[in-house]
Structure 1
Amino acid sequence: MVDQSVQGSVRGTLLRGGTSRGLYVTPDRLPPAGERRDEILVELFGTPDPLQIDGIGGGNSHTSKVMIVDESDRPDADIEYTFGQVGIENATVDWSGNCGNLTSGVGVFALLSGLAGAENPETELCLYNTNTDTYVDQVVPITDGEPAVHGEYHVDGIPGTGARIDSYFRDPGGSVTGQLLPTGERRETVTVDGEDYPVSIVDVANPNVFLRARDLGLDGTELPDELDDPDLLDRLELIRGAACERLGLVDDRRNAVDERPAIPQIALVSDPQSFGTVSGGRVDDDDIDITSRIVTTGTPHHSYATTGAMCLAAATRLDGTIPAEFVRGTDGPDVTIGHPKGTITIGVETATRAGETTVERVRVGRTARLLVDGRLFYRHVPG
C-alpha cells in the first residue's frame, strides 16, 4: 500500500486526442479551482522540468494538458469541460484557453465514464467549454456500445488510422477576448527591440498572433528542430508578449511567459510550399492552401495545434489579414494547412452581417483513444 502521508493520488484517465495526449478527470477527483489544484497538477505532470521525467508529462506542450469533464446542468449541453495547459519549465497551469485536439477526446471520456450514454452507430453530444464560453457539437462513432477505436481516418502526426470524430465549434469568434478581431484591426505592427513586425491578431477558438515567416528571415518550411533556436524563440516570445500587452492580458510583455504562457498562440505563415516532413514524408504545394508553423508555450509544435489551425483557417477568410495574403483561393469551406508532420484540413462556415464577415462554425476531424485508466500518484502537497 502507498503511504498517503507521503504520496497522494488522483483517479484519472490518459487519452490521446488528435495529436495531443492529456489527463482527463472528473471534478470530484481534484480540489476546487485554486492554488492547491494547480499545485497537485504541477506535481502530477513532473513540472518544472524540461523532460517532466518525474511525472506524466512528456516534456512538450502537446503532452502536458488536463481536461476536467463533467455532466452539464445547462439545458443546451450534455457535457461541460475545462482545459488546463500545464507548464513544463514553469510551475504554472494556464486555464485561459481551449485545446482542439483534446476536445476530440471529451466525448470518448464522457462515454467511458458513464457521464453520457452511447447510441449505435454514433453518439451526438453537445459540449460546453467553460474556458471560452463556447459550444461544440461532437459526433463519436460507436462499436458494441463503446467509442470506436478502429477506422479508416488518418491524422498526420498519428501512426495508422482510427475512427473519425467530428467536432463542430459553434460561433468560435472572440472565444477569449470577446472579439473576432480583438484590437479592431486586421493587420497592425508590434515593435520589439526597435524592429517592427506586421502581425494579425485573430481570436477564433483561441487567440492567435500571425506573422510572415520571411519577416523573421525564414522561408516557412522549417521543421521543429530548425525552429528550436533560443534567439528565435526569445524573439517570438517577445512578439507574443507584446500582443498579450496590447490585448490587456498582461501589464508587461516580459511577464507573459509566466502569466499567459499558452494564450495567445503565435504562428508563422507563408505561401503553399512543398517540403519534407519530420517523419520522412513529403507535402506537395498543390495539396495545401497555406503553409504554417506554430509555437505553443515557447515550443515549436511537432505538428499543429488544432485551435491554432481553426483560427488560421478562419483568418484566411478575413480580407486584409496576413493569412489572407498567403492563402490560395477561398472557394469552398475547407482550408488545408501544411505543417511539420503533414496537413490538417479545417472546415470554415462564414456569413456577412452588417457588412462584416463573421465565423459561424469551424469543423475538425480527429481520432482519440484510451491509453491508461487508474490511479496517478504525486508527491504529497502540504495543505
Structure 2
Amino acid sequence: MTQTGIPFVFMRGGTSRGPYFNSKDLPQDRETLAEVLLSVIGSGHAINIDGIGGGVAVSTKVAMLSPSDDDWADVDYFFAQVSVEDRLVDFKPTCGNILSGVGPAAVEMGLVTPCDNETEVKIRAVNTGARVLARVQTPQGALRYDGDTAIAGVPGTAAPIALSFMGVVGSSTGAFLPTGNLRDTFEGIEVTCMDVAMPMVIARAADFGLTGYETVQELDDTREFFARMEAVRRQAGAAMGMGDVSQSVTPKFGLLAPARDGGTIATRYFMPWTTHPSMAVTGSQCLATCALTPGTVADGLLERPTTSPANVVLEHASGTIEVLVDFEMNNHFTLNSAGLMRTARKLADGLIYVPSAVWKGH
C-alpha cells in the first residue's frame, strides 16, 4: 500500500470547516500527528491542492475526538490549526466554531448515544481545559441538520446548536488579565490583553487610523496596518507570559469601534495574519467580556450593560453574533459563563488518505 486510509467525518462547524477524527485512528506521538495533519490539509500550497484544506485559515482546522476520562465530560475535543502555506501545526489554541460540530460528530462516530428530541453533549476542550455543554437536535434519536437557525457568514439555515461555555477565564495563560493590567501600551498603541476562551490583544480601531467598519478585503490589503498590529501582538504576547509568539496564532488580535448597525459594539477579528471573514466563537467571548469590563479599551465605545445576563451583540465583517454573558460586578468584573447559538452540517465521511511515507497506520 502506498497510502494509508484514515476514517473521518468532514463537517462545517459554525463559520469554519474541517475533518473530524476519532483520536484512536491517528498517530499518538505529536510529531507524526503533525505530519499527518499537514498531509490531510495539503499545507504548503496556497490552495491546499494536495489536501482537503480550503486555502484560508477557517478551512484548515482539525478536530480530534475521544471518550473523556473527565468525571464531567462525555467527549474530549483536541484542536489543531494547520497553516495554509507555512507547513505549521499549532496545537495551542482551540476553536469554538469547529467545536460547534463536536456534538453531532461525536454522535456520528458513536462516541455519544443520542437521546429523543435533544441530546446534551458535555465537551472538554483539551487545549484550554474549558468545559462546554452542547445541545444537539436529535428528534426520535436521529441527528437533525436542517432547521430555521441562521448565523452570519453561512448561507441558508440549519438546526440550532446551543453552546454554554464554562471555565474559560485564563484558558491559556491562567489569568483573566495576563499582564495584570486593564490597559497596556505597546508601540504607542493602547491595548487590553485578556484571556477568556482565547488569549487576545484588543485595541481601538481609531488608534490605528481605521474606522473599524472596513471590509475583510480592505483590511487584508492594508499591509502597513498588519505590520503595526503584528509588532504590537508580539510584544503583548511576551508581556502575557506566552513567550515568542511569532510562529503561533495566539494571542489573536481584535479591534473595537462604536456600533453603527444596532449592535452593542463593532468588532474585527484577526487570525492573526489575515482578517477573519466573520467572527470566532472563542474570540466573541473575549471581545464581549472586554466590552462589559470597565476600564478596558472599550470604555467610551458603548453604552455598557449593567445587569446580568447581558446579551452582547458584536457587529463583525459578515453581520452580527450574539453572546449571552452571565457575570457579576462587585469590586471587579467576574465572568460566570457565556452562551452562543451556532449550527453545523455533515458534509462528507469515509476515508482520507495520506502517503504511507508520512504514516503507515497502526
Question: Any residues of structure 2 matched to 1:110-129 within 5 Å, and which?
Answer: 110-129=106-125
Question: Any residues of structure 2 matched to 1:130-169 within 5 Å, and which?
Answer: 130-169=126-165
- Map Cα deviations across residues 170-200 of structure 1 (whole Å, 9 max, x no partner): 1311011111111111111012xxxx11000
Q: Which residue of 2 aligns with 1:347?
A: 324
Instruction: Provide the rounded CA distance (Å) in 1 between the counterparts of 2:163 and 2:181.
Output: 29
Amino acid corresponding to residue 64 of structure 2 in structure 1: I
Instruction: Provide the rounded CA distance (Å) in 1 between the counterparts of 2:73 and 2:85.
Output: 36
Q: Which residue of 2 aligns with 1:199?
A: 191
> Which one of the candidate residues 200, 204, 214 is aligned to 2:206?
214
Aligned CA distance change for structure 1 residues 378 and 297 (closer, same or farther; 3 Å): farther
Helix, strand or coil for the counterpart of 1:345? strand
Kept in 2: contact 1:272–1:328 (CA 8 A): no
Q: Which residue of 2 aligns with 1:280?
A: none
Instruction: Provide the rounded CA distance (Å) in 2 between the counterparts of 1:374 and 1:144.
Output: 25
Instruction: Provide the rounded CA distance (Å) in 1 between the counterparts of 2:129 and 2:109.
Output: 23
> Which one of the candidate residues 245, 252, 264 is aligned to 1:265?
252
Q: Which residue of 1 aligns with 2:227?
A: 234
Instruction: Provide the rounded CA distance (Å) in 1 between the counterparts of 2:49 and 2:162.
Output: 33
Kept in 2: contact 1:80–1:130 (CA 8 A): yes
Aligned CA distance change for structure 1 residues 182 and 58 (closer, same or farther; 3 Å): same
Deviates more, 1:312-321 or 1:326-335: 326-335
User: How far is 1:331 from its partner?
Assistant: 4.6
Q: Which residue of 2 aligns with 1:246?
A: 239
Instruction: Provide the rounded CA distance (Å) in 2 between the counterparts of 1:338 and 1:382.
Output: 43
Normalising by the residue count of structure 2, what TM-score does the alignment of the two structures yield? Answer: 0.95
Helix, strand or coil for the counterpart of 2:85? coil
Deviates more, 1:225-234 or 1:29-38: 225-234
User: How far is 1:28 from its partner?
Assistant: 1.3
- Map Cα deviations across residues 280-316 of structure 1 (whole Å, 9 max, x no partner): xxxxx2x201101111041111111111111101111
Kept in 2: contact 1:40–1:381 (CA 8 A): no
Helix, strand or coil for the counterpart of 2:84? coil
Kept in 1: contact 2:129–2:167 (CA 8 A): no
Helix, strand or coil for the counterpart of 1:326? coil
Stretches of 4+ aligned residues off by more than 4 angstroms = none
- Point out where structure 2 has 5 or more consecutive residues left out of the alignment: none
Deviates more, 1:232-241 or 1:13-22: 232-241
1:108 and 2:104 are equivalent in the alignment: yes
> Which one of the candidate residues 269, 273, 291 is aligned to 1:294?
269
Helix, strand or coil for the counterpart of 1:323? coil
1:177 and 2:170 are equivalent in the alignment: no
User: How far is 1:144 from its partner?
Assistant: 3.6
Aligned CA distance change for structure 1 residues 257 and 379 (closer, same or farther; 3 Å): farther
User: How far is 1:239 from its partner?
Assistant: 1.6
Instruction: Provide the rounded CA distance (Å) in 1 between the counterparts of 2:246 and 2:39.
Output: 20
Aligned residues: 356
Normalising by the residue count of structure 1, what TM-score does the alignment of the two structures yield? Answer: 0.90
Aligned CA distance change for structure 1 residues 340 and 245 (closer, same or farther; 3 Å): same
Kept in 1: contact 2:115–2:140 (CA 8 A): no
Amino acid corresponding to residue 162 of structure 1 in structure 2: A
Instruction: Provide the rounded CA distance (Å) in 2 between the counterparts of 1:172 and 1:357.
Output: 14
Helix, strand or coil for the counterpart of 2:86? coil
Q: Which residue of 2 aligns with 1:281?
A: none
User: How far is 1:340 from its partner?
Assistant: 1.1
- Map Cα deviations across residues 326-362 of structure 1 (whole Å, 9 max, x no partner): 2333155110011111100001111246x33211100
Aligned CA distance change for structure 1 residues 114 and 163 (closer, same or farther; 3 Å): same
1:56 and 2:52 are equivalent in the alignment: yes
Instruction: Provide the rounded CA distance (Å) in 2 between the counterparts of 1:312 and 1:335.
Output: 9
> Which one of the candidate residues 332, 354, 357 is aligned to 1:378?
354
1:361 and 2:337 are equivalent in the alignment: yes
User: How far is 1:13 from its partner?
Assistant: 1.1
RMSD between superposed Cα atoms in Å:
1.5
Amino acid corresponding to residue 237 of structure 1 in structure 2: E
Q: Which residue of 2 aligns with 1:276?
A: none
Helix, strand or coil for the counterpart of 1:257? coil
Amino acid corresponding to residue 174 of structure 2 in structure 1: G
